[in-house]
A and B are shown apart, each in its own frame.
Chain A
Amino acid sequence: MGYFRGFKDLLGLKEVDRDFISTILDQASIFLEVLDRPNKKLPTLRGKTVVHMFFEPSTRTLSSFDLAAKRLSADTISVGTRGTSVVKGESLIDTMRNVDAMKVDLYIVRHSAPGMPHLLARHTKATVINAGDGTNEHPTQALLDMLTMRQIFGTLENIKILIIGDILHSRVARSNIFGLSKFGAKIYLAGPPTLVPKEYENLGAEIVSNIDDVLDEIDVVMALRIQKERLEEPYFPSIREYRKFFAITQERLKRLKPETVLMHPGPVNWGIELDYEAKDRVQNVILRQVTNGVAIRMAILYLFLVGAQNE
């Protein structure tokens, strides 16, 4: 079974080191060249079976993983999306035991509960890749964000990233904090104090109360989706108040350096996190992230299922 640098699974960026991440980013860069070829399919994972276990709606992550697996000639099956027997209240460990009996090699797990991939990983010899677990981590998204930043700036060292919004519920923000801090990037967090836990300063980030104090020195702005209606507690008073202090408005857009990268994990609430004037600037990056996403996921599948055997 697959191991990469001593890890059976990729559960998060918290527990891995800088070299682990760099190796994935380097491998992804190699695969990016392959994606530019007329024939994009490699025979590398022929005979391997990849299982998508998605228990939360996802279009982009699922299709990105699926395409990555197919580009490497792996067989893929899907458990947990519509049309299967998985319902609320069914033990996923039981579901996995059944799928395990079909002799599969790797699971890609997305779930609304933190730690579900960790639990499943302990019940199978196959590799488990975390594709987003509740409010915990979304390592592959952070890796593709990091690859995008590295392409643009040539390095991750000392770049300054400002993450704005609902940090508390954002697994993307958390994985980025865990990953980027290992490279000496400077991470600033901003948002309503209720959604930016001071405990995150222990994780290697700095909290800024006024984004206007730092906007003109930032290299990457990552605006997170705000879903007031889905929050279970009254974390902040109104969208109006949020916009005033934390939105990237047209005025704030003008204050960013021309080379500053504007990111959003999507989908964007235009007029809330970002004004529509930012659309072209975000869109360019998003397309690049989508391409990078396939390459990152190819690299992960390759390193865990094949590359590892050379260790």
Chain B
Amino acid sequence: MNKILLKNGHIFSPEDGIDEILDLLIVGEKIEKIGKNLKVEGAKEIDLSGLTVFPGFIDLHAHLREPGYEYKEDIESGSKAAVAGGFTTVLAMPNTSPPIDSPERVEYIVKRASQVGLARIYPIGAITKNRAGEDLADLRLMAEMGAVAFSDDGDWVRNSSVMRRALEYAQDFPIITHAEDKTLSPKGIMHESPLSYELGIKGIPRESEEIAVARDVLLARLTGGRLHVAHVSSKGSISIIEMAKEAGLRVTAEVTPHHLIFTEEVMRTYDPIYKVNPPLRSEEDRKALIEALRSGIIDCIATDHAPHATFEKELDLNQAPFGILELEVAFSSLYTKLVKEGELDLETLVAAMSTKPAQIFGFDGMGRIKEGFLADLSIWNLNEKWMVRKDSLHSKSSNTPFLGKELYAKIKYTIVGGKLIDVSNL
């Protein structure tokens, strides 16, 4: 069996209480042993002096665009972008064309991911057929083919009865809600606030999210269903989720890197690069999101990686699509903007990107650095700066505000199930 011995790496796994320089032996696809001065016959040795080893990151929310929008991204480019961002597992959202709303289409994603063979790509199936919000898709058949959760992401399931039945029927499978009552925000572009009025840009009020979160939490109460709230952006949503957790409901939530880093102030540029849904909100919301992540009300960070072609993002604010590219810059930008600035501790950040998503979605043997767990790891030089350049990104798109900017934390290796990927040779 394949043996890799990682020497002298700074192993950092808050959940496992490890924060020191150790050796780590991988045998096959699993972590065999962690300790000092390990010596193993026949193992491939890699010296990780000066490098930091985290559990492989797990992204519960990414748009890989295949099938239908391969000019933005496909499973191959998305998989490369994932491992280049330290992600070993990525959940692919079903709002493709056609949408992933049948077992055959789920199977297609699984097959394409295995052909590419880099990160673990897990499909999310649509809740409703054609994502139309009316008839339930074949949830159990999709689950049999490998769907790990269900979502009509991009649209809220407006019909309360349909959402109720989905939560009941899916049982332990998470129903991921894109909580947005769009009737409150037709043609909205940015956070509705004094600033949106100052800039003359149509707003999306916090309430368009909070109303939807509140209804879905109540339906989780009614059904006992498993609800996961995607991309929480507002302080009010946090309070609702906190109440749900205190009431013992099976509700979890995620926040994106961009909602943790940016505020509505960037809209002063009128630049569609910052047009994202839900919108970047106020500093008060951003601070509350960081605090909720720290306290655990928000369980994890998920990227909402949303690649769009340059010609689309160069359209005007009305026509340009919503979304920000994330996979390859997510960790480095959070590390640079939040950890280095003292706003967030590294322990919370790493757990929120690895251990927590594995736990809340029940991915056994993942998200930790522990003997017997899968050897899914990401290995970084935290002190090395790198420039985000179009030609250095593995994604097909480059719609990140960090383009042309320098970030700390450069990825070196990503290991997926014992398979070593040297990111510089991707």
Contacts and interface: CB of A to CB of B under 8 A. Distances in A.
Interface of A: 14, 88-89, 91-94, 111-116, 118-119, 133-137, 171, 174, 197, 199-200, 202-203, 232-233
Contact of B201 (A88, A119, A136): A136
Contacts of A136: 199-201
Contacts of A200: 197
25 contacts: A14-B198, A91-B314, A92-B314, A92-B315, A92-B316, A94-B314, A111-B316, A112-B316, A112-B318, A115-B199, A115-B201, A115-B270, A116-B317, A118-B269, A118-B270, A119-B270, A119-B272, A133-B200, A134-B200, A171-B200, A199-B197, A199-B198, A200-B197, A202-B198, A203-B198
B45 interface: no
Contacts of A112: 316, 318
Contacts of A233: 186
Contact of B318 (A91, A93, A113): A113
Interface of B: 186-187, 194, 197-202, 269-272, 310-311, 314-319
Nearest to B194: A199
Given A94-B311, A118-B269, A232-B187, A113 B316 contact: yes
A247 to B, nearest CB: 25
A174 B200 CA distance: 8
Q: Which of A89, A111, A114 has the most CB of B within 10 A?
A: A114
B186 A115 contact: no
Contact of B317 (A115, A174, A203): A115
Decide if the interface of chain B is mainly helix, strand, loop or mixed: loop
A111 B175 CA distance: 41
Contacts of B272: 119
A307 B253 CA distance: 58
Contacts of A202: 194, 197-198
Contacts of B310: 91
Contacts of A114: 199-201, 270, 317
A131 to B, nearest CB: 15
Q: Which of A94, A115, A118, A135 has the most CB of B within 10 A?
A: A115
Contacts of B311: 91, 94
Contacts of A119: 270-272, 316
B267 to A, nearest CB: 9
Nearest to B186: A232
